[in-house]
Structure 1
């Protein structure tokens, strides 16, 4: 319960202590700008994701296309080797025994092959040379096109791997050689600049017995593969590497022949394809994508994350600028709108403050048809009504009541009235008429208390004595048709009360309670302290009245019905005027069962 109470009082401790303008600005920011801010960040985040995914897709497609071009180019060299592999005449020439042949015959066989190679080299600048290492000792060496595979050559690891590769062939390692195509003797070009080449090697077998007759070696310039990489942008590093990490070709020309970085090789060794993020330092992050070619080589893409996310950063910067601009514009507009609203409300507030100081102004101060204008119009109507009540109703009514009271008091001389009634009482006792004596004494007591030297406030004890005297007079007048019962608590007898509040109620009970069919009426007058106030009740068992009649006793139409100038309405208004709207009369009546009038008063002691 304490928590609930604290939560209910929280607005009074926080928001209700803040001025309206900051609250308006804060509410506008929360209601308008906060959703815009959240939506902006959400859209910016989604846009960044889309751009990042699209960038990754673009690089992936680029890599796949380059892989396809590379595979196609390598396959073309394998296809070229088929022209020699399936050449029956060439296979026969390589295994034929030339021991009994003349030098001219041997030269003619070799010349035919060399011319064939030269024509091929003339039209394919990407090739450096095509060579055959043969096993037939009866043939002559014609380097670099025809070379006897002696023990020195066959003992080399590359030659052994190539010979064991069978139909698939073997891709040799990259090496540096003199630049240009070889037409006859490579020794003639030692002074030329070098170029990097790699070779495709394939064993030549006779198709009948699959007997090895030699090894075909096609040397290809590295620049041919580089031409495929050069079409890609320089925003990324592209590396074609051997299985051991040696870089075959790359758009980073300074890295040719070197080993691929160890942190990359560690992640890709034994894997055919994939991608990962490589964090080398705080500001050096690289996205690595790799894929394996059919011959065992690997294509590696290394994309700096800064480049990968450049468009994302641009989008984020533009988004932040847009959000900041929107925030500034929103704050300016909110302040302007708040000032526009509050300026009109301040007019109304100052008007209320002037009214609090007693300056009642009439007229419309705020124009328009919105709620503030309606509030100003309603306040103006209230001000006009209040001014009318003060100037016309309240002032005149008070003056009228004061004049009536003054006239009433001036018409009655208490001393003359007391002396007259005392004389009447003495004459009654002298003549032995006790009834006349008692009624005159009751009348004297009633007027003594009701006049009370001009005071409006008397004690409950005096009011009780006054009503008892009044009932005694009525009992004599109505020949004991009234049976009073009194039940007042002693604790309220010293409480202060307006004089003559019970008499009009008892008079109304007698007037409405007695009828031709009702010979006697019982009136119960009781009082006590109830629910923080003094509560008096006047209950009769008279003929009662309808709800409409009982309600009219406190209405405007009841004023003319009260013969003595006092009535229930007069008592009700006097109590409310003197003690407040929480106090007054309540009338309940049931036809044939009687009437109950409840008086609620504050407990005051003077």
Structure 2
């Protein structure tokens, strides 16, 4: 592996690195985003589930309380109970025993699901009866009884600790009045906490789902663990929690579930996904290595062969088996080139020495520019085959520049092609210097096909780069190219935001241009060509009013549309 990824093996390393990044980074980001999205979605769903379940259970508890209150209202409305409590206080033990027996019958008749206690208004006058109906921590002198009498037709809910059950209990206290609003007594319905908790329904998918009831001071009044009674409720950080007020003033119902119960499935999925992704990446690395080596090894051997060409070893490259892909085409092209070179050398050696110079001159005159273009295309193709996109782009732009410059000696072109030529040059400068600058082009569509003199704008934008934006920090340079019609002329404007010039620039044919002065040579050349073709009314005009940057205006006569 050290040899495989050695520094000298640049092509393999670059291709492998690029392909690995193009696969690993998206795959890793996709896994991370998917997990994060799933986690957030699960948390959102859990929160909504808690809220919905809590709302349902709060409604159930409120309904339970309401049913108890309705049952108490029916008891209070009992005529037998009112008549019994409205009788005179027993004057003897036997009368009190008779009262107790009758009260037992009434309690048996009225008693429903819960324990029922009935207290006459003057309970102290019923000592034997009072000894029979001791209610947990609640008595006639309790403030709750006084509040119940004050509320009249509305009862109150309280909670106390029952030492016998060793659990909290809930008591509903309701006052009994005559039709004339005379107080007769109190009824109390005692309900164990366990009965109320049976009304709560938790989702079966969460094992540790928990309900807690707290009072207006955030003290626990109902909890799965009785030991938490009357302790301040402090939610744990690792739990999801939701709360909702109950119909009883100040009481709240809280639902909570551990985060690990929610994220446990996600953690398992994450672990499984990590292993799957890791295994997949290992397979991808193996396949990438095989694929990249199938391309880079022949190219590497071909480069070794080409190194031998530099020292005169013209030996064709022999593939173990023929390949029809681009690598095979490259090797066949190389072999054809070597065979052609060998043939040329053989032919050259047979030539007479006195004719060599003449034949070389003849060959030089017979060079076809298209061979040069084809060679550039070959370089571009080879650069693309090793993913050197920057070299390929530069070669393409250079071929376009040369093709435009030669063009069979044609001196004329169109506005559209002239601007395209300038853009190609700017693109090459972008790629060559690795410096970034902004280019703005604005062209009047009406003049795109108009005939103009060739190679006017490229020297101007070259000056704008060399003497303008190249002196600015990277990314700060700006070049603006404008082409428009003004009456019977075509106006080109090239401007940059460089440091400008601080000396006059001579552009008149009768004046001499200093070759060392900035921006002078290319501008003077274009200016003279325009004046030679069209007269002194045309040429270049430098804007001397610029305080910063540089602006040159080209005036060219309007002509007929260009036809090839």
TM-score, normalised to structure 2, is: 0.54
Structure 1 stretches lacking a partner, 5+ long: 1-15, 180-193, 265-277, 280-284, 406-606
2:62 aligned to 71, 79, 82, which one? 71
Partner of 2:299: 345
Match of 2:349 in 1: 395
Residues 167 and 226 in structure 2, CA contact (< 8 A), matched pair in contact too: no
Contact 2:60 2:200 in 1 (8 A): no
Alpha-carbon distance between aligned partners in 2 of 1:144 and 1:354, rounded to the nearest angstrom: 119
- Which one of 76, 81, 94 corresponds to residue 90 of structure 1? 81
Note if 1:20 corresponds to 2:6: no
**For the aligned residues, what is the CA RMSD?**
3.7
CA displacement 1:403-457 (0-9 Å, x = unmatched): 999xxxxxxxxxxxxxxxxxxxxxxxxxxxxxxxxxxxxxxxxxxxxxxxxxxxx
Correspondence for 2:180 = 209
Q: Which runs of 5+ in 2 are unaligned?
A: 1-6, 360-564
Give a deviation string over 1:221-246, Cα, whole Å, max 9, x none: 12212334586655244322233344
Q: 1:52 to 1:322 in 2, by over 3 A?
A: farther
2:340 aligned with 1:385, yes or no?
yes
Distance 1:348 1:17, change over 3 A: closer
SS in structure 2 at match of 1:171: strand
Query: Does 2:101 align with 1:111?
Result: yes
Partner secondary structure for residue 258 of structure 1? coil
1:19-418 map, 5 Å: 19-97=10-88, 110-118=100-108, 124=113, 127-135=114-122, 142-143=129-130, 153-178=139-164, 196-206=168-178, 208-229=179-200, 234-255=207-228, 257-261=229-233, 263=234, 279=237, 285-296=238-249, 297-362=251-316, 365=319, 367-392=322-347, 394-399=348-353, 401=355
Q: Is this contact kept in 2: 1:229–1:251, CA < 8 A?
A: no
Using the size of structure 1 for normalisation, the TM-score is: 0.50
Tell me if the contact between 2:246 and 2:252 (Cα under 8 Å) persists in the aligned partners. yes
Q: From the superposition, tell whether residues 56 and 103 of structure 1 become closer, same or farther in structure 2 (CA, over 3 Å).
A: same
Contact 1:292–1:299 (CA under 8 A) maintained in structure 2: yes
Aligned to 2:338, what secondary structure does the other structure show? Answer: helix
> Whole-Å Cα distance in 1 between the matches of residues 131 and 295 of structure 2?
97
Distance, in Å, in 2 between the alignment partners of 1:89 and 1:231 is 42
Distance 2:356 2:221 in 1: 121
Shift of 1:22: 0.9
User: 1:46: Cα distance to partner?
Assistant: 0.7
Q: What's the CA shift for 1:177?
A: 4.5
Taking the aligned partners of 2:157 and 2:221, their CA distance within structure 1 comes to 11
The 1:230–1:130 alpha-carbon spacing in structure 2 relative to 1, beyond 3 Å, is farther
Structure 2: how far apart are the matches of 1:165 and 1:155?
Answer: 16
